Amino acid sequence: MKTTLSAWELNNNDLELIDLALIEDLGVSYCDKTTALLFPTFKEKVSAVLISKHPQPIIICGLPIVKAVLQKWDDCTVQSNYSDGQVLLPGEILATLTGPAPFLLMSERIILNFLQRLCAIATLTACYVEKINHTTTQILDTRKTLPGFRHLEKYAVQCGGGVNHRMGLYDAIMIKDTHVDLLGGMSVALTRLPDNILQTCPVIIEVRTLDELNILLEKGLHKVTRILLDNMSFVQLEECVDLCKGYVATEASGNMTLDRIAAVAECGVDFISVGKLTHSAGNVDLSMKCGF
């Protein structure tokens, strides 16, 4: 499920988001009343810089979006000595934008809105990854993303050193507690999975108790890619991981804060999924300064 950064590129949905952002800010006619009043005939090229005002180092994510926005205008370019996934220190210049002043001014907020969110996700992900670097556990994202932004936000997780979970409901089977309860138990849920299901797509099954895990290991081990251990105590988690070791990959989830992520990883799980990476990352502080 992981995509390398070198293979990643903006997809059609991302490009539509950029178009929507432009229309949202400028209207269908691409009108900025302030800029049109102050710079009615201004066509000379000027420069502006994107600079970090964040108090801590950040992980860069979103330079392809900067380029895509500026490509909407004539005679606009972006130059950067950085790549997505690299570290930007406080006060450092991320990129230099060149073009007619009206175009740079009209692009400013759109570019910053994308960058500030995506860099925040990448930066928070890097904090989680750093906490568990002494283990072999990998950090996963979730589907708790801003609607329409999933491809971009999962890319930001990659930039921070995380690994992508399933993209959506369409590319993996994930049987959760709600499915099990509606079906009447783990045994029934397992019977719904064909014996050759893994030839079609990955299968992840959530277990809440040791009893559920034992049923799965006894009756469905050949049907599962990974076992999700949700909201378990450290004692439960270690016991379940020991039973799965050497047979099937394990994933822990639920209340994965920075304070406890290392202790969870030290239980021996292969993956930890963290919803906070995308739903609670906030924004970093970036600014555009003109006249450089």
Task: Transcribe 225-248 into DSSP letters.
Answer: SEEEEES--HHHHHHHHHHHTTTS
Q: Partners of 203 in the beta sheet?
A: 173
Tokens coding 203: 């299968």
| pLDDT for res 1 | 45
Stretches where the chain sits below pLDDT 50 are 1-2
Cα–Cα distance for residue pair 119/88, rounded to 1 Å: 10
Q: Active site includes 206?
A: yes
92 carries an active-site annotation = no
Structure confidence at residue 47 (pLDDT) = 96
Residue 100 phi/psi, 5-degree rounding, is -55, 140
Q: What is the pLDDT of residue 42?
A: 84
Question: Is 144 one of the catalytic residues?
Answer: yes
Say if CB 289 and CB 55 are below 8 A apart.
no
Residue from 2, 53, 109, 289 carrying the catalytic annotation:
109
User: Are 5-126+281-290 and 130-279 equal in CATH topology?
Assistant: no
Active site residue 212: no
Active-site residue identified among 67, 72, 143, 144: 144
Which one is catalytic: 177, 230, 238, 266? Answer: 230
Distance CA 94, CA 176 (A): 42
Output b/e per residue, 182-195; b: 16+ Cβ within 10 A: eeeebeebbeebee
CA distance 230 to 234: 11
Q: pTM value?
A: 0.95
Rounded distance between C-alpha atoms, residue 85 and residue 210, angstroms: 39
Dihedral angle sign, alpha carbons of residues 40, 44, 45, 50 = negative
What was the pLDDT predicted at 44?
87
Name the fold adopted by 5-126+281-290.
Aldehyde Oxidoreductase; domain 3 (3.90.1170)
CA atoms within 13 A on the CB side of 127: 18
From the candidates 67, 72, 143, 176, which is the catalytic residue?
A: 176
pLDDT in tens, 184-210: 999 999 999 999 999 999 999 999 999
Beta bridge partners of 290: 48
Catalytic position from the list 141, 206, 212, 270:
206
Going from N- to C-terminal start, the domains of the chain cover 5-126+281-290, 130-279
- Superfamily classification of domain 130-279: Aldolase class I (3.20.20.70)
132: closest CA among 259, 284, 2? 259
